[in-house]
Amino acid sequence: MILPQLSHLASICAKSGITQAILSPGSRCAPIALALIRHPLIHCRTIPDERSAAFIALGMAQQLNKPVILVCTSGSAALNYGPALAEAFYQQIPLLVLTADRPAEWIDQWDGQTIRQDNLYGRHVKGSFTFPDEAGIPDKLWHAKRLVKEALSLARCFPMGPVHINIPVREPFYPKADEQYGFDVTDLEPVLEIQPGNQILGTDADGKLRNQLKAFHRMLLIPGQQRPSPKISAALAEIIRNQQAVVVTDTISNLAQEESVTHHDFFVDDPTRQEEMAPDLIISFGKSILSKALKQFLRKSQTAHWHVQPEGTVPDPFKKLSQIIRLQPETFLQFFLGAANPTDADFAQQWTQKNQAVRDKLPRYLGELEAFGELQALQQILPKLPPFGKVHLANSLAVRNVNFLGRPLSNVEIISNRGTSGIDGSNSTAVGCTFTTKETVTLITGDMAFFYDRNAFWHQYQLANLRVLLFNNQGGGIFRMIDGPAALPELEEYFETHQKLSGAHLAEEMGFDYWSVEDLSSLQNCLDTFYQKSLKPKILEIKSSSETNTRNLKLLKEKIRMHLDKNNL
């Protein structure tokens, strides 16, 4: 039985431009699912594993920049959405979560698939709502429609994020054989529209900021994680040219200009160099940064920190936050161009000369490493990435390795689940991305993240544009790079969790084309074929040992430090 409030829910979503839904099968959620499935403007897909389903929806919403609907049945099914909703909350990704539930009087009565679902996701959603379970009274129907509009408005307002509507559903769940209904796509039911505000600096604030900026000459501009932005990229390039400003970018900022500092992980943690690189002002925008060394360096510095963000709560990751500027980043950067002093030349050179020295020597030093490992493989892979494609970097070592290489990847979009930085949904997020684009989607992942999320591929949908680069070092190799666990006798069994799985079996089971390489020449020989168009997704498994990868990174850092010392950089 399609209840009136559920048909209105589907219509309001469609009229609001929300046209994608990920469903997980169940009986109590059948009326919700049918309302969406039978709406002519909503495209539904079915994903059996709710944890994967939620990350797939997240991957879609990342690209669409608007909510994707999630639907599941009652009980533990709804709990499985938790990891993805936490990630969406901290990444500020909009999702509309619809969980079926038993009527309130049956909670805690030993009935099947029944848990306490009100406010199930706590503080990791922007809002929680409970649907009225009767709509025979006009005010109840109005209430149901109002809740949907409020939830969608909340999900889309900055900062965007997930919202939850819990929907008690009474039997019968399915329509009768002769029951007919339809959707009027010309329905005049109004929806809530959101008009963007015109954020500008008032005269007093403009003058105050200009005066404050005049006091600073050693400024660092640090973009955090964000989608590619031609406007921000162009503004930063102009700031670097005109004011010799130092712009430090991680891979996940999607702003890696040639002139920006991208190799800071090789020198920013050196105590002998930190005083000469210390800023007097940090200006940040976007979300989190990846580099732990950079964060620790900035936390130790004696500096002011301004963060540019139009609305919402602002964290203090460097323990220095002194001013919040309520502007869009591109608006502030245009203001900065006309207001800031040129950067102190010696300070700028301390950063840019070190960065250029690393950039110049890195290919040679990688080539001098005797044993094949992940860094040499990535050096070959990154220039081969298809232009205008999407690149998903899994946690934990894959995203860090790409960041170590510091390559400007201006013609691809870099995506990584750095909201909570878990390994649990990397495959699924990449799969969600493939549902939104015809461009090539590359997933660069380690074995732990890959096998953890294998149910991302357990569905009937084509993924012909997906390419998986699987770095298999038979365990969580990052634990060998952390001083604490690396020295413990329990390392392999309890931290690295050594395993012997291969991607070949999953490829056969799920219908992927598959290659496996263990040396540089084999990798070079198959990369072009790997990226050719095909009717199937592809996996290229790159095997190495975690011991070799750890040793290679240490050798690489030593070579670069010696080069910087030799040249007084």
- pLDDT tens digits, 368-404: 998 999 999 999 999 999 999 999 999 989 999 999 9
Cα distances (Å, whole numbers) of residue 183 to 14, 98, 199, 435, 542: 11, 20, 39, 26, 51
Query: Residue 240 has what pLDDT?
Result: 94
Q: How many residues does the chain have?
A: 569
CA distance 446 to 423: 9
Question: Is the confidence at residue 4, as pLDDT, over 90?
Answer: no
Percent of the chain clearing pLDDT 70 (strictly above): 97
Question: Is the confidence at residue 139, as pLDDT, over 90?
Answer: no
Query: Residue 482 has what pLDDT?
Result: 76
State phi, psi for 487 to the nearest 5 degrees.
Answer: -95, 0
Cα distances (Å, whole numbers) of residue 256 to 153, 266, 410, 413, 455: 33, 17, 6, 11, 33
Residues 6 or more apart whose Cβ sits within 8 Å of residue 110: none
* Strand partners for 468: 443, 539
- Domains of the chain are 4-168 (3.40.50.970), 204-355 (3.40.50.1220), 369-564 (3.40.50.970)
- Higher-confidence residue of 257 and 538: namely 538
Q: What is the pLDDT of the chain when averaged over all its residues?
A: 93
